[in-house]
Amino acid sequence: MKRIFTTVSTAALAVALGAGAVGPWGLGSGAALAADKIVISNWDGYMPKDLPEKFKAETGIEVEVALHATNEEIMGKVVAGKGKGYDVLFVSSPFAEVLHKLGLSAPIDHAKVPNFANLYPEAASLEYDPGNTFSAPYAWGTTGLCYRSDLVEGTPSSWNDLLNPSDALKGKVTMLATDRWLMAAGMLAKGYSVNETSQAKIDEVKSQLIETKKDLLAYDDTTFYSKLVSGEASLVHAWDGWCNYGIAENDDIKYVIPQEGTDLWVDTMVITAASENKDAAHAFINYILSADNGKWVAENILYKVPNKAAMEALDGGLLASFPNLDMAPADMMKQEQLRDLGSAQKAYTKAVTEITASN
């Protein structure tokens, strides 16, 4: 999932969390492996800046952090170099699935990651990797409608409220431009799968989205919640965590999953097959899956995590302020999981290029 993180209003978040929200970092891991060093690639801001330092203090393992802006960026590097130079990758689930199919990911030895026990049972039932054999889930969530309840009449309930906005909303709507999510909105509005590969249905959705573009304020993957806060937009297509950034600044902003359903996205950690430090890579994943680290993600990035121990440790005020954080895993699993599209991914990319370039 494409992510470029921005800072949530400190004052708003402090009110939501209350004092002492972020917990201690001690993990109590095993003996230090001072000779080891690993290279990980992650999105900027997707883990604490001091995590490598704290991890080294706990384990003796040095961590070099490389950043990627998109899944596509890191996939290009990993596929071209066959994973050499990297030990752990943070990628979204369809890309983890591709790495596995290409033989570029290593099996995960659960005996070396005891903190898998912290995860919800549902986290072991994800369709792209049942049993977490080649990936470890880091964060998960849904995509839906984020709106200003004081500027929108009633409660939006359908993807068609976005694709065919009322006259009052025309020019006040934004949509995500990332391939999978722009197409998913169109697919779901027509009752199709978010993993649809039929060229005829791709073309049908493309035509609808070209019509929709005429009524949009913008395509926006990074500042849509700010447009809601300012009132420039009234209804936006949003990832749940990013909607929370708007809610932190204006409690008239709400989030809803349309009646047609939505996608369940998962961001994962994968050990590369080329890693020469697989024991250290396992130790890193185990550290990340501690309750304290998962709690940091939920509190500071405002994303749900599949870490049961972390979610149960959250302050009740945080969940009250950001209701979508409190969505039960069983309800999340009712949504359709994003999967690798195979050769149809090129058709999605071509369609989205044509949609966004249309007049």
Q: Hey, what CATH class is 141-263+339-357 in?
A: alpha beta
Strands 173-175 and 235-239: parallel
For residue 35, the model assigns a pLDDT of: 54
- Say yes or no to pLDDT of 9 above 80: no
Considering the entire predicted model, what is its pTM? 0.88
Q: What is the dihedral of CA 335, 341, 344, 349, to 10 degrees?
A: 80
- Domain 4-140+265-330 shares a fold with domain 141-263+339-357: yes
As beta bridge partners, residue 336 has 263
- As a whole number of angstroms, the distance between CA 17 and CA 316 comes to 8
Which of these CATH numbers, 3.30.1330.60, 3.40.50.1100, 2.40.30.10, 3.40.190.10, describes 4-140+265-330? Answer: 3.40.190.10
- Cα–Cα distances in angstroms (integers) from residue 349 to residues 92, 205, 345, 354, 357, in the given order: 17, 13, 6, 9, 12
313-327 mean pLDDT: 96
27 secondary structure, DSSP code: -
CB 142 within 8 Å of CB 263: yes
Mean pLDDT of the chain: 91
**Hey, where are the domains in the chain?**
4-140+265-330, 141-263+339-357
Q: What pLDDT is stored for residue 66 in this prediction?
A: 97
Q: What is the per-residue pLDDT across 80-94, written as a single tens digit (0 to 9) for each?
A: 999 999 999 999 999
Query: pLDDT, tens digit, for every residue of 225-242?
Result: 999 999 999 999 999 999
Phi-psi region of 159 (alpha: psi -120 to 50; beta: other; left: phi over 0): alpha
Give the model's confidence band at 36: pLDDT under 50 very low, under 70 low, under 90 confident, else very high.
Answer: confident
CA angle 345, 129, 87 (to 5 degrees): 85
Three-class DSSP category at 162? helix
Angstrom distance (rounded) from CA 185 to CA 19: 39
- Contacts of residue 278, defined as CB under 8 A and 6 or more positions apart, other chains included, come to 87, 106, 271
Could you tell me the two tokens for 159?
Answer: 């993807």
